[in-house]
Chain A
Amino acid sequence: MTANPEKQLRILYRVFLFRAVDASGLSAASDTSSLLGQILAILAAFSFVLTYVLLPRYVSSPLSKPRLLIAAWVDEEFLIATTMAITGLFSLLAWTVILPETQDSTVLSPLPVRLRTILFAKFAAIGSMLAIFGVGLNFFTGISFPFLTVPAGGQPVRTFAVYWAVMALAGAFVFSSLVGLQSVAAIMLPYRVFQRCSTYIQLFVIGTILGVYFLTPPVATVEGLTAPENEHLLAFIPSFWFLGLFQSLNGAVEPICHTLAHRAWWSLLAAFGVAVAAYPLAYRKVLRRAIEQPHVAPAVYPLFFRWAAHFVANRVFSRSLERAVFLFTLRSLARSGQHRLLMAMYGGIAFAVSIAYSKSFLQGIGEAPWYEPNIPLLSASMVLLALTVIGVRALFALPICLPANWIFRVTAIHRPADYFSATRRSLFAVVAIPIWISCTLFFLAIWPGLPSIEHTLVLVVLGCILIDLALYGFRSVPFTCSYLAGGANLKVRLGIFAFGILTITSILSGIEYWAIEKPARYCALSAILVSAALWAASRRRAFAMSTYNRLQFEKVPISEIFALDLRPESALFGDEAYVNAINEQLSRPFWKRLRPVMAFAGILLTAGFAYEKLGEWRDRRQFPQVGRSFNIDGRSLNIYCSGQGIPTVILESNWGAPGFSWVYIHKQIAKFTRACWYDRAGYGWSAPGPFPNHSDTIARDLHKLLQASGTRRPYVLVGHAMGAFHVRVFRGYYPSEVAGLVFVDPMSEDLTIHIHNHIEAFRPTVLFIDQLMGGLGLLRLASRNSGPVPSASGLSVREWATVAALRLQTKSLVATGKEPPLWIGGELARASGGFGNVPVVVLSAGIQDQEEDPELDQHHDFKMTLHAKLAGLSKRGKQVIVNSGHQMPWTAPNAVVSAVTEVVTEVRNGTLNRGSAEKD
Chain B
Amino acid sequence: MGEDRALELRGVTKLYSGIAAVNNVSFAAAAGEVTAYLGPNGSGKSTTLKIITGLLEPTEGSVLFDGRAIQQDRIGYKQRLGYVPEEAQIYPRLTAYEYLEMVGGLRGFAAPRIKEKTNTFLRLFSLDGDSHVPMSSYSKGMRQKVVLAAALLHNPDLMVLDEPFSGLDISSALVLTDLIRELAARGKVVLFSAHELHIVERVSSRVVILHRGSVVANDRIEELRSLLSLPSLEEIFSQLVVEQDTRSVARELVAAMDL
Contacts of B141-197 to chain A: CB distance below 8 A:
150
Instruction: Compute how far the CA of A566 lies from the CA of B17 in the bound complex, rounded to whole angstroms.
Output: 7
A331 pairs with B93, CB closer than 8 A: yes
The answer to whether A413 touches B105, judged by C-beta atoms less than 8 angstroms apart, is no
Residue of B nearest to A573 (CB): B55
Contacts known (A323-B111, A401-B91, A574-B71); A410 close to B81, Cβ less than 8 A: yes
A400-B55 contact given A324-B101, A408-B106, A413-B107, CB 8 Å threshold: no
Which residues of the other chain, B, contact A575 by a CB distance below 8 angstroms?
74
Given contacts A320-B111, A321-B108, A323-B105, contact A301 B132 (CB under 8 A): yes
Shortest beta-carbon distance, A23 to chain B, in Å? 13
B85: nearest chain-A partner, CB-CB: A406
Chain A proximity mask over B96-125: 1 for CB below 8 Å, otherwise 0: 001001111111111100100000000000
Report B-chain residues with C-beta under 8 Å of the C-beta of A406: 55, 83, 85, 89
Q: Does B35 make an interface contact (CB < 8 A)?
A: no
Count the A-B residue pairs with Cβ separation under 8 angstroms: how many?
108
A223 close to chain B: CB less than 8 A: no
Alpha-carbon gap, A306 to B132, bound state (A): 9
* Contact A410/B91 with A301-B134, A320-B108, A324-B105 known, Cβ cut-off 8 Å: no
Q: How large is the interface on B (under 10, 10 to 19, 20 to 34, 35 or more residues)?
A: 35 or more
> Chain A: interface residue count, which band?
35 or more
Interface residues of B in 42-90 (CB under 8 A from A): 53-57, 71, 74-75, 78-79, 81, 83, 85, 87, 89-90
Smallest CB gap from B107: residue in A: A411
CB distance B136 to A298 under 8 Å?
yes
Q: Are B78 and A320 in contact (CB under 8 A)?
A: no
Q: Are A331 and B111 in contact (CB under 8 A)?
A: no
The answer to the question of B126 belonging to the interface, with a C-beta cut-off of 8 Å to chain A, is no
Expressed in whole angstroms, the Cα–Cα distance for A440 and B87 within the complex equals 48
Contacts of B92 in A (CB 8 A): 401
Closest residue on chain B to residue A576 by CB atoms: B57
CA of A570 to CA of B87, assembled, Å: 15
- Residues B93 and A335 in contact, CB atoms below 8 Å apart: yes
Cβ B106 vs Cβ A321 within 8 A: yes
Contact code string A402-430 (vs B, CB < 8 Å = 1, else 0): 01101111111110000000000000000
Are B79 and A413 interface neighbours, CB within 8 A? yes
B133 touches A298 (CB 8 A): yes
Q: A298-B136, A301-B132, A401-B89 are in contact. Are A410 and B55 (CB under 8 A)?
A: yes
Bound together, the chains give a CA A572 to CA B137 distance in angstroms of: 32
B137 near A298 (CB under 8 angstroms)?
Answer: yes
Is B95 among interface residues, defined by CB-CB distance under 8 A? yes
Q: Is the beta-carbon distance between A574 and B57 smaller than 8 angstroms?
A: yes
- A889 and B85 CA atoms in complex are apart in Å by 81
Flag if B56 contacts A571 (CB, 8 Å). Answer: yes
Q: Is A816 in the interface zone, CB < 8 Å from B?
A: no
The answer, yes or no, to whether B94 is at the interface (CB within 8 Å) is: yes
B54 touches A574 (CB 8 A): yes
Interface assignment of A206: CB less than 8 Å from any CB of chain B: no
Residues of chain A within 8 A (CB-CB) of B87 are 403
Q: State in angstroms the CA–CA spacing of A336 and B91 once bound together.
A: 10
25 contacts between A and B (CB under 8 A): A297-B130, A297-B137, A298-B133, A300-B132, A300-B133, A306-B132, A314-B111, A320-B105, A320-B106, A320-B109, A320-B111, A321-B106, A324-B105, A331-B94, A335-B94, A406-B55, A407-B90, A408-B106, A410-B78, A410-B83, A411-B78, A413-B79, A413-B108, A573-B54, A575-B74
Closest 6 CB pairs of A and B: A324-B105, A335-B93, A574-B57, A404-B89, A320-B105, A411-B106
Known: A301-B133, A321-B105, A335-B94. 5 other contacts (CB 8 A): A298-B136, A335-B134, A404-B90, A413-B79, A574-B54
